[in-house]
Amino acid sequence: MKPKIAVFDFTCCEGCQLQILNCEQEMPDLVAALDIITFREVMTERSDHYDIAFIDGSCTTESEIARLKEIRQRAKMVIPIGACACLGGVNCFKNLHPMEDVLKAVYGQAAPYYDTIPARPIHAVIPIDFFIPGCPIVKEEFIRVVQEILAGKAPYLPNDPVCAECKMVGNVCVFDKGQTCLGPVTRGGCKATCVTGGAVCWGCRGLIDEPNINAEKEILEKAGLSIKDIVEEFSLFNACQEDVWK
Ligand code: SF4
Ligand code: SF4
Ligand code: SF4
């Protein structure tokens, strides 16, 4: 029996689901190894009998809480994918404002017809079995995790900071160019793609386990950032985790 897979979307841009679809070369093998039975972005058929639920997006409404609890009851494994699902991601910006103001800003006069609650990552609502970080996820990492699960192994989650890969690919550190970066405390696995592309790391893969926050604070302060600037920089993807800087 092939494991039955479901992919669900919550509050998000659905870019992480698109990354699954971008696994074009691997798709024939994936489909041979798995039964994809629910995936709204690509198919109309659906079923409630799944083994593994991948969840894209964060939880931002009361109705999403009930939906998540139902998925948890049905699935043997629940795996959030992407920064929105794993960290709350960019959706957590709204938590910095009163919810009534957020509703009015988005829906105007129609605000009373909608509900919203502070955004949360999936693990803050239901227990999860693993997670695949990133904004968006790295498709090769998604394939590797699926292969490890199919082989009955515990999936591997990188815990080196982005800096390790950044050095390996030969980038000049952006601090040496007068910019700032969250690479020293951010979970690697993306090959420092943003720095390689000429930008900086904004922390989309979340914090490594046991990050040295004091050392990162020190280098950011030396680069001229105040604590307020640092929290703002970190909040792009991690507003739900910003307490770590206090
Ligand atoms: S993590 Fe990024 S790419 Fe994935 S759904 Fe959220 S905003 Fe989109
Ligand atoms: S550019 Fe960023 S990720 Fe690369 S070494 Fe410097 S701090 Fe680390
Ligand atoms: S460099 Fe940083 S922001 Fe860019 S993909 Fe990697 S973890 Fe995300």
Q: Are 56 and 16 in contact (CB under 8 A)?
A: yes
Which residues, including other chains, have CB under 8 Å from residue 220's CB and lie 6 or more apart? 180, 229, 230, 233
- Kindly report the length of the chain: 246
pLDDT at residue number 246: 65
pTM: 0.95
What's residue 60's pLDDT?
A: 96
Residue type, 208: I
Q: Please measure the distance between the N-terminal and C-terminal CA atoms of the chain and give it in whole angstroms.
A: 50
Q: Looking at the predicted structure, is the pLDDT value of residue 239 above 90?
A: no
Tell me which residues have their CB closer than 6 angstroms to ligand 1: 12-16, 56-57, 82-84, 89-90, 135-136
Choosing from 202, 207, 233, 238 the residue with most ligand 3 atoms within 8 A of its CB, the one to mutate for a pocket test is: 202
Question: For residue range 87-143, what is the model confidence (pLDDT) as tens digits?
Answer: 999 999 899 899 999 999 999 999 999 999 999 999 999 999 999 999 999 999 999
Whether the CB-CB separation of 209 and 159 falls below 8 Å is answered with yes
Q: Which fold has domain 4-150?
A: Rossmann fold (3.40.50)
Distance, CA of 12 to CA of 195 (rounded, Å): 24
Mean pLDDT, residues 18-39: 94
pLDDT per residue as tens digits for the range 175-190: 999 999 999 999 999 9
The residue nearest atom 8 of ligand 2, judged by CA position, is 163
Model pLDDT for residues 206-227, shown as the tens digit of each residue = 999 999 999 999 999 999 999 8
Name beta bridge partners: 7.
Answer: 39, 54
Largest CA distance in the chain: 58
Handedness of CA 47, 49, 51, 55 (dihedral sign): positive
Mean pLDDT of 183-207: 97
The finding on whether 186 has its CB within 6 A of some atom of ligand 3 is: yes
Q: Which distant-in-sequence residues (6+ apart) come within 8 Å of 31 by Cβ?
A: none
Residue 240 pLDDT greater than 70, yes or no: yes
CA distance 86 to 137: 11
What is the token pair recorded at 229? 């600037």
| 69, 128 Cβ separation under 8 angstroms | no
Res 230 pLDDT > 90: no
Looking up tokens 């699926």 gives: 146
CA distance 90 to 119: 9
Per-residue pLDDT of 36-83, as tens digits, reads 999 999 999 999 999 999 999 999 999 999 999 999 999 999 999 999
Model confidence at 152: pLDDT above 90: yes
Residue in the block written with tokens 């659905």: 14
Nearest to 240 by CA among 201, 207, 199, 193: 207
Ligand located closest to 178 CA: 2
Q: Is the pLDDT of residue 243 over 80?
A: no
Closest ligand to the CA of 87: 1
Pocket test for ligand 2, best of 167, 168, 169, 175 (most atoms within 8 A of CB): 175
Residue intervals in the chain for CATH 3.40.50.700:
4-150
The closest of 217, 237, 236 to 227, measured between CA atoms, is 217
